[in-house]
Structure 1
């Protein structure tokens, strides 16, 4: 505070106050020339507007300049010292209160807001001027200078003069600096010329007679309105000032004629009315100029917003609310490009209709957000007009009115197709990296049953060669060889599951069944580090991708293994535990007694590429991808750890809805129609495979229950069908050279649609996007190679039964 006072009264501050005092004296001198009602009271007081503008420009602390100027001006008409002091206090208080009030109301000197004009007119001009009028008139009346019978009239004239001074003078002084270039110069010169002509007319009318003053009313409003609409508050202020100055000039010239001195009282009343008229007109036009300026600013902001909307890469859709749902009222160019639809066609559509397929959990969240007009963020695919799909990250937000009611919904779409593809590739790379980490163990696991298989097959051959007495031994060895082959099949199946591409289909999954192949993958490398403890409790099914959850568990188990040093398996433990969480979600935990995670590292473990491992052990993507997969499934992954005491990773997933849990298929053994021996004839099976030995093995397996024919390619199979041969079921390899199983299926749909429904596919893995899409969409059974014999016989029995039942009836 002291620093502010010191700055106010430095050399520059004192000079500013003296200049303000001098200007106030000059303005007061002009006002005193119109003291027609009483020599101490004038209906024209430009000094009040000058004082308020001075304090607004230089600060309220310059008030001594206003006080000094008022005091010296009052002494000019020989007022007593005490009266001069009291009048000066009133005028100073008027300016100080006006400046303080306007600053408290957030007043802007540009007068381009309606609230600024209202604050100036009602607060400073009408309100604070009354303070000066009451103090000044009371002081003059108490001193006997102003008769008490004229007190009310004196207050009225004093208040009107000060108020008009604020209305006319303050806007000009606030707006004239800093100077700005004049737009539309020709039009500005035309307005100035018209104003000058009207001013000269007013001056002449004032000389002709008092009844000619009303002529100005016909010209003031057109000029002020012109200025308001085209040149803003500055134009209104200048037009008002010129009309006021010339009208007062004419009044002064008329009062200077001796023969008209008897009319002075009448002229004073007319002048006061004219000033009031100008004040009301100026206020109206200032409000009009502020409203016009606000409209221009709003238009500029809308144009800026529209330009920004056109330039942003994100798609933006604004929808209004209706009983049938949100309806599009605006869509920027980026969104129209995403869906390939024009703005006219989008109008009135629902943004939800433009979305593609989404998982049930995301659909449920989106529907709840739309119903409650709540924020939403999630990944949603968009359908392009040409049929293609675009992955987007959608964000929903509500637009509310001042009362809090929702008026519109804003949908923002960010194209994440490239990011999604990169993320899928990173997931696949991390999946392969995890399997690669276990490559030595997987090789060891395959070598053991492979050696077991070869030894037993060799022993069976030798037993059969020795004669009939060794058939029993050969049969035992073949069964043991079959067990070894089954172990190899399971290992290959596990590898296929963890390296599978495009496995995004969700179905009810038991986490305990997902844990089994993951444990088989790490069991060998875990053997030299820790004991494995499996603790399975009742757990609800989850709606998920089995391959994706398998990747999560495999990564968590690999991390647990790598956290435990080799050589002390009896002292360490890896525990996998499943249970139902208190909130009903499925919970699976992976415990380890390894080195743990430092508290400073723990907050960063889910960040991409963050790792404390060596380059050979990890890339820093495993836990980040695990978190992404779990979140996509609507769950969360938690971790707790202490250095030296191991870590616990907990995965929580929502339980699958009741409607998504499909009943287990009825056992084929319980279905009489699936038993070929209960039917009137043997079914005829066509095996199509480009591997003759595999086809021949399946033939030996299926005979004598079925009549089996073999084709080594899709074209040969189509020729057999076209020749009219009876075929009850087709077992076909999915991917073959030339005519693939997919091609064969398409041809059968045209030639023999009934047979196409009885086609069973075998696949060693869908390695192309077309094959992946086909497997996900085809209704036929798809068996994964190597196919267990019982599974193959069951699938054929289920497919052939309808044909045999139809012919036997």
Structure 2
């Protein structure tokens, strides 16, 4: 603090050299010393400013009271200036434009007005300055303090620690040129006034050079040198600003110094900000290029067109493209695997400035697809319209594969929970089937009209039992199909009964099961996955109700259409309900409140994932002691095809329609008894050849045999149905068009892809007799007469039947 007083007095002695109005100087370095001291050393140094200012005023001839007033004014200006700078977040490095503005306009121009008013008033009241010079004194004091802040404060804040500049040689050249030029302008009396005035403008390039090449330190040093030379020269009567009125000369000179100082500091701050921006851009560019996530930046052009302007290496590797192949292209082409509705919605959201987060399939250069989690973020570079958007891609193919396995595992777990009930549901009609067949056997053994009538009645009962088993198996197939099936139109009213039939026996000892159907639009999705959601929710409702009081509890499945037109399925139970602290976590994976062996904690999480993948929502409402309501809300499909009526099961003996012609049928099935059964069913109406191997069937065709219909099992050892069809396409195209596949429904991904690629009929086992007869008759009606001579049916049948 003592050192601050000494420095203040030395700076004041320099300012006293150019006193113009009473005891007031138009160039007052102590103002800059005071502000810089508080900024650098802290607010606690204010007594040093007060002592230095009071002592300087007293030594200059002011009375003790006036000197104290001057000390209060100067100290208050410095304290207010520091408070303002701290409030705006000032950085004494002066590398931001806002800091330069705060120093010059805030702490300088604004706060120094307090010092001018208090100090001038103190000198006037103390008799040091006459009342007639009050206005002039205020102006000169304010200008002098401002010059001190602009010229002296920056070097004191910036040069606390001396460091030789990196461009030392250039700095020496710049300092030499500035010194020579300043000396020539302000210390050469023989230089004409007009020439000196014109040469003054050459000092601005020197300040700009210092600011742009050496930053705020260079600008502050150049301003200090130019100001010192110009003030001393003008005070001695030299230079372009010297006239007969020294006070006026110095005031005009201060305008030149202020302009030079502010320009240099602003240029230096702008250059520093630009260098930081360039550094940040380089750092950002390096970071974006090296991150593992794929990053794409697209420009929004006129008319909503999009053009790729940047893609990092991770995205290029993910898609298999080179950077040059992506630049300039429409990024929406990468989302070709999505539907046009998704692409249109995404484009509209981006142009509206809304971010988009989704899981999408991207098309690689080789044509295959890869799953990606994408975040599309709009950028408003101009502050108004969206000019760019940034797409961040994360490869989630492995995650998708794991999710698919978890979904399959949970499906198996759900069906496994109901295994005992499903077995009971199959055993009942199976026992009914066996008993009726035994009764039919007895009736046929007895013979006679009565025995035949009893046998026919028992056969009809057996057919009804077999039909019931077929329905149960079909219901199970809904929940066991592969996940890569194509999405189609799903009727939720038709999806409820299979799930209800599967769970009905297991629920029988816990609650009543009520079905309530309402009008509901069809939805676009996977029947297997939506069936899994419904089955999981029913299992969840069943496990929420204890056994023992089925008459007091209820599980209700209700379908309807909500107010917004979405399809709605509610699963309502009267169980114990869900506690409030558990409700927010029920959709978390592996979170469960069930005892060991009752749940994995995946069911509801997977249900939510499936529903969201279909664009819907899964909601829950529950109160402890009052049960729960799980609601599945799905958007309606864009096209609502009418639901075809479901045919009732037919158990009457099959008959050939009138006018149907007799044809040649080849049955290929690796199950001998099934092939024999189909032969026995068809043989009264058609000539039938059977074989249990695909190779034998192909040998028959290659030998010249021709058939009107080929009933071929899809999955067989050695030569399967796909191999048979491909051989026929290559060697007997006319026969390939007559194939009808029969499958047990356990499709592999390869067989599913094959079935989807060929326009052939597929019958699901077990095939009802009327369906098999109708399919053969329809194939005969659609096909032409078999061409060419053929071996006799008897000979063919004799060589191939088993």
What band does the TM-score fall into relative to the shorter chain?
Answer: 0.7 to 0.9
Equivalent position SS for 1:75: helix
Structure-1 separation of matches of 2:572 and 2:178: 94
Structure-2 separation of matches of 1:147 and 1:566: 107
Cα 1:566–1:206 shift into 2, 3 Å: closer
For residue 139 of structure 1, report the CA deviation from its aligned partner. 6.1
* 1:464-487, Cα deviation, whole Å (9 max, x unpaired): 233353222222222211222222
Give TM-score scaled by structure 2 length.
Answer: 0.87
Checking the alignment, whether the CA contact within 8 Å between 1:198 and 1:216 is kept in structure 2 is: no
Structure-2 separation of matches of 1:566 and 1:41: 101
What runs of 5+ residues in structure 2 fail to find an aligned partner? Answer: 649-654, 788-802
1:282 alignment partner in structure 2: 261
Cα 1:746–1:337 shift into 2, 3 Å: same
Structure-2 separation of matches of 1:676 and 1:359: 46
1:472 alignment partner in structure 2: 453
Checking the alignment, whether the CA contact within 8 Å between 2:227 and 2:257 is kept in structure 1 is: yes
Structure-1 separation of matches of 2:307 and 2:185: 63
Checking the alignment, whether the CA contact within 8 Å between 1:766 and 1:772 is kept in structure 2 is: no
For residue 91 of structure 1, report the CA deviation from its aligned partner. 3.6
Checking the alignment, whether the CA contact within 8 Å between 1:510 and 1:541 is kept in structure 2 is: yes
Q: Does 1:296 align with 2:280?
A: no
Structure-2 separation of matches of 1:465 and 1:180: 121
2:154 alignment partner in structure 1: 171
What runs of 5+ residues in structure 1 fail to find an aligned partner? Answer: 1-15, 669-674
Structure-2 separation of matches of 1:331 and 1:524: 58
Instruction: Map 1:465-614; keep pairs closer than 5 Å.
Output: 465-469=445-449, 470-614=451-595
Structure-1 separation of matches of 2:252 and 2:126: 29
For residue 723 of structure 1, report the CA deviation from its aligned partner. 4.8
Equivalent position SS for 1:406: coil
Structure-2 separation of matches of 1:781 and 1:151: 109
* 1:553-611, Cα deviation, whole Å (9 max, x unpaired): 22122222223333333333332222333333222222333333333323222221111
Structure-2 separation of matches of 1:663 and 1:449: 29
Cα 1:142–1:757 shift into 2, 3 Å: farther
Q: Does 1:692 align with 2:672?
A: yes
Q: Does 1:653 align with 2:637?
A: no
For residue 763 of structure 1, report the CA deviation from its aligned partner. 1.8
Structure-1 separation of matches of 2:618 and 2:311: 37
C-alpha RMSD over aligned residues:
3.6
Structure-2 separation of matches of 1:601 and 1:281: 69
Cα 1:693–1:640 shift into 2, 3 Å: same
* 1:37-76, Cα deviation, whole Å (9 max, x unpaired): 4563334321111122223334556544433322221222
For residue 117 of structure 1, report the CA deviation from its aligned partner. 1.6
Cα 1:150–1:689 shift into 2, 3 Å: same
1:5 alignment partner in structure 2: none
For residue 445 of structure 1, report the CA deviation from its aligned partner. 2.4
Cα 1:93–1:352 shift into 2, 3 Å: same
Structure-2 separation of matches of 1:216 and 1:240: 16
Checking the alignment, whether the CA contact within 8 Å between 2:694 and 2:721 is kept in structure 1 is: yes
For residue 382 of structure 1, report the CA deviation from its aligned partner. 0.8
1:383 alignment partner in structure 2: 363
2:8 is aligned, of 20, 24, 46, to 24
131-140 or 685-694, larger mean C-alpha shift: 131-140
Structure-2 separation of matches of 1:206 and 1:580: 91
744-753 or 65-74, larger mean C-alpha shift: 744-753
For residue 424 of structure 1, report the CA deviation from its aligned partner. 0.9
Cα 1:19–1:683 shift into 2, 3 Å: farther
2:721 is aligned, of 734, 741, 753, to 741
Structure-2 separation of matches of 1:391 and 1:174: 57
2:212 is aligned, of 226, 229, 235, to 229
* 1:371-416, Cα deviation, whole Å (9 max, x unpaired): 5332322211111112221111222222225644222222222222
Checking the alignment, whether the CA contact within 8 Å between 1:200 and 1:246 is kept in structure 2 is: no
1:305 alignment partner in structure 2: 284
Size of the alignment, in residue pairs? 774
For residue 28 of structure 1, report the CA deviation from its aligned partner. 0.6
Structure-1 separation of matches of 2:328 and 2:641: 37
For residue 488 of structure 1, report the CA deviation from its aligned partner. 2.0
Checking the alignment, whether the CA contact within 8 Å between 1:507 and 1:545 is kept in structure 2 is: yes
Checking the alignment, whether the CA contact within 8 Å between 2:712 and 2:742 is kept in structure 1 is: yes
* 1:101-123, Cα deviation, whole Å (9 max, x unpaired): 43444332221112222232333
Instruction: Map 1:207-222; keep pairs closer than 5 Å.
Output: 208-209=188-189, 211=191, 217=200, 220-222=203-205
Give TM-score scaled by structure 1 length.
Answer: 0.86
Instruction: Map 1:258-273; keep pairs closer than 5 Å.
Output: none
* 1:262-290, Cα deviation, whole Å (9 max, x unpaired): x9957887666665434322322221111
Cα 1:210–1:676 shift into 2, 3 Å: farther
Structure-1 separation of matches of 2:751 and 2:30: 91
1:9 alignment partner in structure 2: none
For residue 251 of structure 1, report the CA deviation from its aligned partner. 7.4
2:776 alignment partner in structure 1: 796
For residue 431 of structure 1, report the CA deviation from its aligned partner. 0.8
Checking the alignment, whether the CA contact within 8 Å between 1:596 and 1:645 is kept in structure 2 is: yes
1:7 alignment partner in structure 2: none
195-204 or 22-31, larger mean C-alpha shift: 195-204
420-429 or 477-486, larger mean C-alpha shift: 477-486
Equivalent position SS for 2:479: helix
Equivalent position SS for 1:648: strand
1:78 alignment partner in structure 2: 61
Instruction: Map 1:766-805; keep pairs closer than 5 Å.
Output: 766-804=746-784
Structure-1 separation of matches of 2:125 and 2:576: 95
Checking the alignment, whether the CA contact within 8 Å between 1:460 and 1:474 is kept in structure 2 is: yes
Checking the alignment, whether the CA contact within 8 Å between 1:338 and 1:382 is kept in structure 2 is: no
Instruction: Map 1:695-706; keep pairs closer than 5 Å.
Output: 695-706=675-686
1:636 alignment partner in structure 2: 617
Checking the alignment, whether the CA contact within 8 Å between 1:117 and 1:286 is kept in structure 2 is: yes
> Which structure has more helix as a fraction of its residues?
1
Checking the alignment, whether the CA contact within 8 Å between 2:32 and 2:153 is kept in structure 1 is: yes
Checking the alignment, whether the CA contact within 8 Å between 2:443 and 2:455 is kept in structure 1 is: yes
1:13 alignment partner in structure 2: none
* 1:292-325, Cα deviation, whole Å (9 max, x unpaired): 1111111111122112212322222222223254
Structure-1 separation of matches of 2:689 and 2:502: 39
Cα 1:412–1:169 shift into 2, 3 Å: same
Structure-2 separation of matches of 1:229 and 1:207: 28
Structure-2 separation of matches of 1:566 and 1:152: 100
Cα 1:394–1:207 shift into 2, 3 Å: closer
* 1:172-220, Cα deviation, whole Å (9 max, x unpaired): 122223x486662xx1344035415643674587655373877984764
